[in-house]
């Protein structure tokens, strides 16, 4: 589960880097909204990786339920951002 997400994250980072290079070549600057969106997505992805790691190492079922709920929330937020 985590590996699939991480590969998507790597692909997303490559795409972002390519978009930034293209914007620099064409003389366009990223607007503040795009920068904020990227920063928010990166923060959510980091939180998601931490939750997945903790979920893999936790044995307490109540804690696992809580982590699964947090993971679902993060996935929902990431889907909203796109």
Tally the domains of the chain: 1
pLDDT of residue 1: 45
51 neighbors 1 (Cβ within 8 angstroms): no
User: What is the rounded distance in angstroms from the CA atom of residue 70 to the CA atom of residue 82?
Assistant: 18
Confidence of residue 69 (pLDDT cuts 50, 70, 90): very high
Question: Using CA atoms, how far apart are residues 9 and 74, in angstroms rounded to an integer?
Answer: 14
Please state the pTM of the whole predicted model: 0.65
> What DSSP state is assigned to residue 27?
T
Is a pLDDT exceeding 60 seen at residue 16? yes
* Residue matched to tokens 């997303």: 12
Task: Give the range of the structural domain holding residue 70, as residue numbers without chain letter.
Answer: 2-81
Residue 49 is predicted with a pLDDT of 96
How large a percentage of the chain has pLDDT more than 70? 76
CA distances from 66 to 33, 62, 71 (A): 32, 6, 9
């Amino acid at each position: 589960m985590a590996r699939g997400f991480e590969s998507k994250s790597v692909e997303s980072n490559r795409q972002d880097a390519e978009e930034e290079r293209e914007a620099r070549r064409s003389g366009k600057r990223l607007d503040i909204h795009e920068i904020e969106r990227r920063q928010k997505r990166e923060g959510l992805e980091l939180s998601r990786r931490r939750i997945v790691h903790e979920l893999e190492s936790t044995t307490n079922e109540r804690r696992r339920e809580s982590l699964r709920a947090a993971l679902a929330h993060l996935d929902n937020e990431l889907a909203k951002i796109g």
